[in-house]
Structure 1
């Protein structure tokens, strides 16, 4: 049982991020004071949407400069906080040249630095960590390793490495590091959020989010000739934010939580957009055969091993624990992708063809 005092500030790391921005918005709406860590508080392009929210809602926002690899940079923003929500972690799926330095080290050491800072701060009672379903499985083919053909919170990603699927590997070792540190102390408890592929409207106009980039590419003609049959567990970014806040303030909550609305293919997402937006944008209308995807994968920064283990492999997730432990309900993914694409249009990130 962990009661969090809502009058105390809540620390949110990686404050300018896609998910963190929604968490901060939800907290400010509730009148909660938020300490958010960012790389550069003076970078108006990245923080203006946060300061605008702070002026709109009753909660107060303070921005702190921090570096995942500098443990001292979390001391000031964590001061007097009972709840810490750690979202900051690098996210790259392609174009990775040095997995260790770009993904693995920042993810693991950043998590360690935040949790060790909590050990030095006597006020912290609970830490909510943003992990991923990528810490549960690495490739879609891992579904064959489950007992019932469904991914649950009991599974861990055992197939990823620095050489194959480095991003899932980074999320796996970061979450394992968090659980290891949590077991060594009794001051605070750890809850973990394991979202699927996060889509939904962004609160900033940045285009450097993988989700934003994909949604733009669905509508700009890049995939006009077709998309591969890739199954993903889809989740609305607003539901992910809600899950973090419920995890933070639900006294009896515990453990890992798969946060997924349902599974869908890329073509299914495109069909949802076409149904709503019509033929104004060149949405893909077919699936690329697996053998063709296998041939051209290196041109798109993907390995043929990735294609072999992921294309045309159906996966399924059990989200029942999140409903039971956090009281979660989920936004239909049709609404998620429509709202997301409309935000991209409204923000001028995609022009009509």
Structure 2
């Protein structure tokens, strides 16, 4: 055990090599936790090398194989852990039937992890990563009343427009709440806005690639946003640990720094980073409703979000260092 940090116990992070999960692992190690990270292939040295570079990793990180779609696959990783951070999502490469290939794995994977949690007598709390898309896809939004944690996105609207990712988040989160209520598991869910920030894995995930695209003038992914909340990836990692540690934390937590229209975003970026081919306006593909996100619940725990400037400055610095920009 390294001398610098106070040992805080053992926790599990699912999908440990992912964009957000890597930051959670990094922050947990810095905080003094022993981390069991689940990955699909513990022998994939190239994909996992960034995790072993974290401070404390040699002493307090263990990577084990687990598969979201295999019942009991998480038993070994979760047994003996006081906390579980479930961030892993099924990876979908080829879509023949989006509804079954995205929705069913999201729900089944979440329930498989929670069943392993149920079998662990050491468990204190589970923190599940959901999404702000589980609250903001609605009709007839009152522009003067920010959306809070009591609100859920419309399943009917998601099905109508065939937006399967938000629907998968809604269904997985609802399934988690139902299972945890029936089995007396202390569950907290975090609902982050669009995550921006440095990628610790060398290969960029789709979210990080979309942000890189903006700086190369490729804006198609952002044209469909219309209006979106943005949040620094490190803030989301810190929020996971905050709600895990604070006894009074409960329920759902929306995590967002700034909600901004897409044209306001690109105008801001074009002005701040004039050397990149960022357009000053995007096509308005859809008329999206105006909304704000109410973050007073997470802020009441003492959390303060980094501003838009900092999240994009940190991203540009990292993308440049990694040779993407």
TM-score w.r.t. the length of structure 2 is 0.90
The corresponding residue for 1:240 is 236
The corresponding residue for 2:3 is none
Change (3 A) 1:103 1:39: same
The corresponding residue for 2:206 is 210
The equivalent position to 1:189 in structure 2, one of 186, 189, 194, is: 186
Q: Tell me how far 1:263 sits from its aligned partner.
A: 0.5
What is the alpha-carbon root mean square deviation over aligned residues? 2.4
Distance 1:108 1:201 in 2: 29
> Contact 2:149–2:254 (CA<8 Å) still a contact in 1?
yes
Alignment of 1:99-248 (within 5 A): 99-138=98-137, 142=138, 144-145=140-141, 148-158=144-154, 159-161=157-159, 164-186=162-184, 188-207=185-204, 209-223=205-219, 227=223, 230-248=226-244
Alignment of 1:188-337 (within 5 A): 188-207=185-204, 209-223=205-219, 227=223, 230-278=226-274, 280-288=275-283, 290=284, 293=285, 307=286, 311-324=287-300, 326-337=301-312
Alignment of 1:12-31 (within 5 A): 12-31=13-32
Distance 2:200 2:134 in 1: 26
1:240 is paired with a residue whose SS is helix
Change (3 A) 1:175 1:162: farther
**Which segments of 5 or more consecutive residues in structure 2 lack a partner in the other structure?**
1-5
Distance 2:132 2:224 in 1: 21
The corresponding residue for 1:83 is 83
Judge which range, 101-110 or 269-278, deviates more: 269-278
Alignment of 1:39-54 (within 5 A): 39-54=40-55
Matched residues, number: 317
Distance 2:225 2:41 in 1: 39
1:136 is paired with a residue whose SS is helix
Q: Tell me how far 1:312 sits from its aligned partner.
A: 4.5
